[in-house]
Amino acid sequence: MKTQQQRDTLDLPTAYHRHLTVDFKQDRKYFVTLQAIFLAVVLTAVALALVFDLPLATGWPPVVTIPVTLLSLLVYMAAHEATHGLTLRLLTGTTPSYAVRFPFLTTSSPLHLTRRSTITTALSPSIIWGTVFFVALFLVPADARLPVYILLTVNFAGSAGDYLEAALALRQPREALFQDEGDRVDVFLPTAQEPR
């Protein structure tokens, strides 16, 4: 008997049970993996800048460069979460909630999302903002390239939790539903469904 493809839903279907809960903040394995991904991306970005001698020098004094970069990072962090929220809204028609759960900013939803919606929502900020910042590197004045390169790096490094959530979703059966609580993801499977 073929299992019917689920849709995003507020109410968990009666034939489903909680299979797994992953808390990215409390689960040491996931937290260490998240930090390792972040560090690997940052080190890769530094190595690329050095090996390819990227033109990241700026004529701005540090008193300008540092505040511009920090302010840009704060705006980006909010835009990243807003992108998760907008993606959720476009996919489901519902409004998500936002929270600061140090050291994370989070977007969450009471919906039980399909695997496709979960992956799309998780990866949309990294893909969209990665594209924007990469293109911006070629369009901004030379003095602004360093802050943009830092934003590009933080975009990919800071999306480590999003990559983990997408990987978690990909490892579940097609029929799985996911509830994203911001720093915790619950996975639900049909009662008779065992993971592959």
The whole-number pLDDT of residue 105 equals 78
The whole-number pLDDT of residue 1 equals 40
Task: Give the Cβ contact number of residue 178 at 10 Å.
Answer: 26
Residue 127 lies in a domain: yes
- My answer on whether omega of the bond before 103 falls inside 30° of 0, hence cis, is yes
Residue 3 lies in a domain: no
Residue 9 lies in a domain: no
Q: In 3D, which of 72, 22, 61, 88 has the Cα closest to residue 143? A: 61
Cα–Cα separations (whole angstroms), residue 1 to 6, 28, 141, 173, 195: 15, 38, 60, 15, 16
Helix axis angle for 62-92 and 115-139, nearest 10°, is: 150
Residue 64 lies in a domain: yes
Q: How far apart are CA 114 and CA 118, in angstroms?
A: 6
CA 10 from centre of chain: 22
Residue 20 lies in a domain: yes
Residue 123 lies in a domain: yes
- Please count the structural domains in the chain: 1
The whole-number pLDDT of residue 4 equals 53
pLDDT in tens, 93-112: 998 988 887 666 788 888 99
Helix axis angle for 28-51 and 160-170, nearest 10°, is: 120
Residue 104 lies in a domain: yes
Task: Give the Cβ contact number of residue 129 at 10 Å.
Answer: 22
SS3 for 139-187, per residue?
HCCHHHHHHHHHHHHHHHHHCHHHHHHHHHHHCCCCCCEEEECCCEEEE
What residues of the chain score a pLDDT lower than 70? Answer: 1-5, 102-104, 193-196
**Structural domain of 54:** 16-190
Residue 129 lies in a domain: yes
Q: What is the DSSP letter of 6?
A: P
